[in-house]
Amino acid sequence: MGQPRDPRPDTRGDFLTHVLPRTVVGLALWLLIFAIGAGASGVVFFIAYERRLTELDARITSVKTEFEQRLGLLGQANRLVAAIGPSVVTVQGTDATGARTSGSGFVMNSTASQSWLITNYHLVAGSIAAAEGIAAPVTPTDVAPPVAGVSPRVTVHLGGSDHSGTVYSWDAPNDLALIIVGVGHLPSLKFSSVVPTQGLPVWAVGAADGPVGAAAARGKLVDPTPQSYVTDAVFGPRSSGGPLVDSEGKVVGVLTATATVTPAVPTSTAVPTSTAVPVRLACIEVVICPR
């Protein structure tokens, strides 16, 4: 008699022919899905990385450009101050209340024995009030002494030393005055012959301590009118009376008011502005300018 047959079914064949292939296919499918997912994630990560890298490059370029622009402006300011500085002086006098004042002025003409300086009236108003009479406007080629009885005295600091100056003529409404000092052969500034327009790049130059003796602030004309030039080149009280020059160093105005904060429109951000008097008014009211 033969051995009794095992009543349990033989599933090895089914496992080998059905279950195992399905398992392998399933694993392969999962591996494929994982690979695709990983690849997609890698692509997304790479795109994000490239975007961040592009943004970083843009920021670096922007910072570099701004730095180069600032460096260029600094170089331009240094060259301008070096050229104009010797013509800018410190004016010390008294104001209308008798208080001591200290501001700026600049040489507009110089002969062998005298130099003619433009400054602000408010810097020397007290000195004028202490004197008698009124001096008439004169030409820069006239080397005659001041009119008898009229000798408002102020102190002018130039070339590292102090000199006594005479307020020769003035225009109170336009805050202008002409000072004569007995020092000749000083470098003088040229006046611009072009009528300034809105947006013109300008430099506010005033007296300062140091070897050059001047400092400059860059800006542009915001609102030029026949009677005044509003500029965003902000300067301090010590620069009042100094020249407002264009990019060529030619005088377009006389600095007269320190910075004030005035919004362009009621809802806009307040922007500091300053005021200068058109230099042509000095040529009309206080001195006959050379042509």
pLDDT tier for residue 96 given thresholds of 50, 70 and 90: confident
Q: Looking at the structure, do residues 235 and 174 belong to the same domain, yes or no?
A: no
Question: Given this model, what pLDDT does residue 144 score?
Answer: 37
CATH number of the domain within which 211 lies:
2.40.10.10
Q: Looking at the structure, do residues 245 and 280 belong to the same domain, yes or no?
A: yes
* Over residues 74-90, mean pLDDT: 85
Task: Specify the range with the lowest mean pLDDT, choosing from 82-86, 96-100, 171-175.
Answer: 96-100
Distance from CA of residue 98 to its chain's centroid? 33
Comparing 285 with 238, the larger pLDDT belongs to 238
pLDDT tier for residue 136 given thresholds of 50, 70 and 90: very low
pTM (2 decimals)? Answer: 0.68
Question: Given this model, what pLDDT does residue 112 score?
Answer: 93
Q: Looking at the structure, do residues 142 and 222 belong to the same domain, yes or no?
A: no
Q: Looking at the structure, do residues 210 and 135 belong to the same domain, yes or no?
A: no
Q: Looking at the structure, do residues 177 and 217 belong to the same domain, yes or no?
A: no
Per the domain annotation, does 224 fall within a domain? yes
Per the domain annotation, does 64 fall within a domain? no
Comparing 181 with 288, the larger pLDDT belongs to 181
Per the domain annotation, does 63 fall within a domain? no
> Considering 133, 152, 181, which residue would you say is the last residue of a domain?
181
Q: Is the dihedral of CA 28, 31, 33, 35 positive or negative?
A: negative
> Considering 181, 209, 242, which residue would you say is the last residue of a domain?
181
Counting the structural domains of the chain, the total is 2
Per the domain annotation, does 205 fall within a domain? yes
Q: Is the dihedral of CA 142, 145, 147, 151 positive or negative?
A: positive
Q: Looking at the structure, do residues 143 and 110 belong to the same domain, yes or no?
A: yes
Sole residue written with tokens 């700026």: 104
Question: 15: how many CB neighbours lie within 10 A of its CB?
Answer: 12
CA nearest 124: which of 102, 147, 149? 102
SS3 70: helix
Question: 259: how many CB neighbours lie within 10 A of its CB?
Answer: 17
Answer yes or no: is pLDDT of 197 > 60: yes
* Over residues 210-224, mean pLDDT: 83
Q: What is the pLDDT of residues 17-43, one digit of tens each?
A: 555 555 655 566 666 666 666 555 665
Q: Looking at the structure, do residues 166 and 99 belong to the same domain, yes or no?
A: yes
User: What Cα–Cα distance (Å) separates residue 277 from each residue in 139, 163, 226?
Assistant: 20, 26, 9
Comparing 191 with 73, the larger pLDDT belongs to 191
Q: Which residues span the domain enclosing 89?
A: 85-181
Per the domain annotation, does 5 fall within a domain? no
